Structure formats: C-alpha cells, structure tokens
Structure 1
Amino acid sequence: MKRITINNIVRPYAKPSNARAIWQLANTLLPYFGLIALMFWMLQAGIHYLLVLPLSILPALFLVRIFILFHDCTHSSFMTSKKWMTVIGHVLGILTFTSYHQWQREHLTHHRTVGNLQQRGVGDVWTMTVDEYQQTSWLKRLGYRLYRHPFFLFGIGPFYMFVINQRLPIAMKTKKDWISLLISNLGILAIILTVSFTVGFKYYLMIQLPIIFIASSLGVWLFFVQHQYEEVYWADSDEWDITEAALKGSSVYKLPRILDWFTGNIAYHNVHHLNARIPNYNLRKLFHSTKAFRNSKEINILESIHLATLYLYDERLKKLISRRTFKKQYS
C-alpha cells in the first residue's frame, strides 16, 4: 500500500477528543483507586493477605490502561492541548512510576528507528544478531542470555525498570528529563509519605508492590509480543522504510475485547506505528476500516507464548530464532 494512500486513510482518525479523554480518565482512575480502597478495607477487616492478593490483578490491569493514557500523552494524541497533556502525563507518570520526558524522548526514538538494524538500543528490547552474538565476549553473551530469559525479561526486569531504574538519573540528556525525574520522584515520595502517615507504610507495600509487579510484567510482555516474532521486519539503514517497519515490524495481538479495553487497543500496533497521533480509542476502529492493515502479522494469545523463546536475529534467514535453533545451526 502506497504511503500517500495510507496517509489519506489514517489522517481522519488522528484527531483527539477532549471529551473522550476526560471520560477515559474517569473510567480508568476511579475504578483503579476504588479497587485499591477495597484491598485496604479487606486487609483492615482481617481477611488473610493470600486471599486479598489475587484481587491485585484487577487494579494491575487498570494500571496498564493508565500507562496507555500516559503513552498517548507522550505522543500528543490524547487531548487537543499539549500543555494539558504534559500536566496529565506527569500525573499519570507518577502513578505508573515513569519519568515523563525521558520516557517520551526514548519512546519517540523507538518509533523513528523500529526495525533499523543500525539504530537499535533506545526504547526497545535488547536484540543481538547471530553474528554479533558469536563475535562478542563470553561475559556479554552470558549477560544477554540472562537478559533474554523469560524469568528476567517478564518478571524481575520490568519491576526493576519501573520501580528502581526510573528513579535514578540515568541517561538524562535534557533539562526536561531532569525536571520530569524530579517531579515523578517527589510525587511518588509524597504518595508514600501520605499513605504511611495515614493508613501505614505496611499497607502501601502490601497493595502497591503486587500491582506494579503484575502491571509492569504485562506491559513489557505486550511490547515484546508486538515487536519480537519470527518474521519481524529488520533492515539495514539504506534499505529501511518507516512504513514497512510499521506494517511488517509491528504485530496485531488478537486479544479478547475486554483486554483490548484494558490495554487501550495498543494491540493494533501496526496502526499505532503508522501514525502515533491516533488516539488509543481510534486504533481498533481504524484497523477494521480497511483490509490492508490485515497484512500485518496477527498473533493470538496461545501463539504468543512461544515467542518468549526467541533469542537472536538471523540476518541470513531474516527472522528471529530461538536458542535451540541457534545451537542446531551454528554450534
């Protein structure tokens, strides 16, 4: 599909609505805080923590949705006012443990470079080629193997990235980065102190930690599935095309409708990468408006499970391969 044709199809959907944005904030934040209050009430009522803990899945799903609203703010696609998106984005960033401007800068870099072999490393999942892996030191190979292990990549890693790494002055490049880091850290500290001096720090940990652990793992899994599958598009800089990268380097994750709602329709990731100014509430509608978008890789939940085994990009085969395949072909 030609780029000019795509632009004509996409442009009408790249219009934010303040009314829709306000409604999304209400139908996301109110249930989120309501569920947290319910968990606190259950703990106060003497209900065993192991019976309360499973309930944290629901606010974790709402926190994923909060992150999508934050994500739309970073793309200036959530509302018509950039100023209000910056303000709301910082507030949502506090709730999701994410520094607004640094994440925005790195994520926009991801959009500009996705699928470009020479420009990996910013805002994406660390992916080595077969040649790079074979030529690097054993220590770096060990680090890469640990990084790509599902236990780290979808468990320890996401929790560390949001709760700890996002609190540290790492990779700060602009004054805005520093200001956002200060705002997010002070905001999180204010919440912790407020809760500690009212209901108790113990309850904050018992409720917040499982929520952020589950939500961060789900978020990283979503991002992984949408850019890490066998036939994913990668190309050298001189051959790389941003439209091809969007349609062939971003999957469509076929989720139940309720999960589409919780994930802000980000599963229609090919459409999102075609034009990041499309608000989350228009992604699904646009995807179903034309059959051309169905040419992208579609993955259902069962099919996505094995993607966690993918390991290296094979430039000869032009596909991602598992560690088992690498051993068979290159050892």
Structure 2
Amino acid sequence: MSYVVRDVAVVFGLAATAAYVNNWFFWPLYWAAQGTMFWALFVLGHDCGHGSFSNNLKLNSVVGHLLHSSILVPYHGWRISHRTHHQNHGHVENDESWHPLSEKIYSKLDAITRTLRFTVPFPMLAYPVYLWSRSPGKTGSHFDPNGDLFVPSEKKDVITSTLCWTAMAALLAGLLFAIGPVQMLKLYGVPYWGFVMWLDLVTYLHHHGHDEKLPWYRGKEWSYLRGGLTTLDRDYGWINNIHHDIGTHVIHHLFPQIPHYHLIEATEAAKPVLGKYYREPKKSGPLPFHLIGNLITSLKQDHYVSDTGDVVYYETDPKLSGSSTSE
C-alpha cells in the first residue's frame, strides 16, 4: 500500500504543479513524467491481478479497480486475459500478449494492418484497440462478458469492471466540460497515451529479442517452464524503480505470485539455477534509449512464424524489411 500512496501522491502532485505553472516549457516534462507514473499505477494494479499485492482477494480487487479504472483499463477483463497469457506464455496459438502471427493469418492481413502492426510508432499505440478487439486471429473484447475471453462464471466480474471503466469515462467527460478540452488534453490525454506507449513497449520487449532468435512452441514441445524461459529481462536504467522493477520479467513469469519488491532478489537467487537459460539484459544508461533500437530492429525482422512445426522462430517478410530474402 505504501507504493500506492507514493505513486498516487506523485500523480496528483505532478498534475497540480503542471496546472499551476502552466507554461509550454514545463508541459513536455509533465507529459513524460505523468505518462510514466500512469504506467507505474498499471504495474501496481498488475500485482493486484496476480494476487501478489495482497493475500486478501477483496483488497486486490478494490485497489486493482481503483488503479486500473483511473487509466481506463477494465480490471477484471484485463486480469483474466493476462492470466491466459501467463498460463500459455510462449505458445504460438494460445498466448495472449504480442504472440506471433502464423504465416496463414499474416498472409490475410491487408497492407494497412501490416503497416500499422510493424511500423513505429503505431504498434506502441495498440493497447486500447487490443482491449476492444484483441489481436489478429482472435475474437472477443475485454468489455464483453459474453465474449470468447470469458467463461460464464466470470460474467459478473467483467460487468463490474466495465461499469467502473464507464464511471471513469463519465468522470473524464465531466472534467472535459468543467476545465475545457485543451486543459484536459494537457493534464490527462497526453499522459494517457504516454502510458499506452510504455505498456506496449515493455510488453513487446519482454517477449521479443533481436540479438538472438527466441523459440515459440506448439503441441508437446510446449511446457510452462519452457514458455516462461522465452521471456526476456530488460534494464530501464533509473526508471526501474519508478515502474516497480517490471524489467525482471523472467522470474515474474515463472513465479507470478512474487511481489514486485522481491523480484530483483528472486532473480539473483534464480540465476545460478537457470544457468545458460537465463539471458542477462544489456545494462542501460540513465535512460533506456537502446531499447528503442531493439524495438525497431525486431519490428523489421519478426513478422510471422511457420504454420507447421512444434518449435518455430520468427521469420521476416522481405517486403517489410527491405531485404530480398526472408531470414
């Protein structure tokens, strides 16, 4: 709870300062800082969704709804799909977050969709679209209790989260009329898109690499451990602490019940056990600018996987990469 208090205090402090100063030198600094803090709120709600925030399920739900609704994320809808991701990480068809497209599905994408999916910055703006319609090849919505994402017993939870999301949207609409669209855009709109870019960037980078090809599995070749070991740790410099060490992603996937404030300790303990199966992240400077290069390279190379085979790797569409042959 101390992390919640800290982050919420910083969010309100930044907003109050920006509204008071209100000059164009400060606004870009505010947008970068507040977008990052919205992302930090998401990570705390993410812990609630895993049950690693508290042993009290009701407290997890209350805090998760408050944090996620404030940044327009339907808590239970996301929690359930994220559980699907963790239960099927590294599986070609069954994974949920930034899973690979099969060659068959990829070949059916129109040119605009391919461009939007594989050209910066468009993939970093994908999260709201994903919430409403999921990824290519999958159906359902995080807001629809009768959709493909959920079973009947989860219907009440999904309705609750959708109502909370709607209440937050209504609050934002009220503020829009109260303080005006320009001020709302500056105080909330731009930071919200900063948060979306953080979420898409981090989620993508933890499941894609460019220095080495990572396997994806099907059938009997897939296992929970194998899937977890296809994730990557990333170093974000001094932002690591701000967004609650989410860069320690391998240990989080293997043991999602570990709270964020023990992830570094747990990673160090696991390294001797994992040995060569743990990939040490490249150390970042004060700011993780090198990760932008990783992202761009991966988007140029990692387009689809074969429709056949139980251990597959990303292949490259030469039309998007600019090369004459596929890797």
Give the TM-score normalised by the residue count of structure 2: 0.80
Alignment check: 8 A CA contact 2:93 2:99 kept: no
Identify which of structures 1 and 2 has the higher relative contact order when contacts are C-alpha pairs closer than 8 Å and 6+ apart.
1
> Equivalent residue of 2:206, what SS?
helix
Alignment check: 8 A CA contact 2:72 2:168 kept: no
Alignment check: 8 A CA contact 1:102 1:177 kept: yes
Gaps spanning 5+ residues in structure 2: where? 135-140, 283-287
Change (3 A) 1:75 1:308: same
Question: Which residue does the alignment assign to 1:251?
Answer: 232
Does residue 127 (structure 1) correspond to residue 100 (structure 2)? The answer is yes
How far 1:288 moved relative to its partner?
A: 1.4
How far 1:308 moved relative to its partner?
A: 3.2
CA distance in 1, matches of 2:171, 2:215: 43
Give the TM-score normalised by the residue count of structure 1: 0.79
Does residue 107 (structure 1) correspond to residue 79 (structure 2)? The answer is no
Does residue 75 (structure 1) correspond to residue 55 (structure 2)? The answer is no
Alignment check: 8 A CA contact 1:192 1:204 kept: no
Deviation sequence 1:108-128 (CA, Å, 0-9, x none)? 0001111112324x3x12522
Change (3 A) 1:217 1:162: farther
CA distance in 2, matches of 1:222, 1:328: 30
Task: Give the partner amino acid of 1:178.
Answer: I
Question: Which residue does the alignment assign to 1:158?
Answer: 127
Mapping 1:80-99, distance limit 5 Å: 80-99=55-74
Match of 1:116 among 72, 91, 95: 91
Percent identity over paired residues: 18
Gaps spanning 5+ residues in structure 1: where? 1-21
Alignment check: 8 A CA contact 1:251 1:269 kept: yes
How far 1:85 moved relative to its partner?
A: 0.8
CA distance in 1, matches of 2:51, 2:93: 27
Does residue 175 (structure 1) correspond to residue 156 (structure 2)? The answer is yes
> Equivalent residue of 2:219, what SS?
coil
Does residue 232 (structure 1) correspond to residue 214 (structure 2)? The answer is yes
CA distance in 1, matches of 2:324, 2:281: 26
Does residue 284 (structure 1) correspond to residue 284 (structure 2)? The answer is no
Deviation sequence 1:280-315 (CA, Å, 0-9, x none)? 111111111242346323443426242232332445
Change (3 A) 1:112 1:159: closer
Match of 1:310 among 279, 290, 301: 301
CA distance in 1, matches of 2:66, 2:45: 9
How far 1:169 moved relative to its partner?
A: 4.2
Question: Which residue does the alignment assign to 2:285?
Answer: none
CA distance in 1, matches of 2:143, 2:157: 15
CA distance in 1, matches of 2:105, 2:161: 35
Change (3 A) 1:29 1:240: same
Does residue 207 (structure 1) correspond to residue 187 (structure 2)? The answer is yes
Alignment check: 8 A CA contact 2:101 2:303 kept: yes
Q: How many residues align?
A: 297
Task: Give the partner amino acid of 1:231.
Answer: K
Task: Give the partner amino acid of 2:15.
Answer: I
Change (3 A) 1:163 1:37: farther
Task: Give the partner amino acid of 1:244.
Answer: R
Change (3 A) 1:34 1:326: same
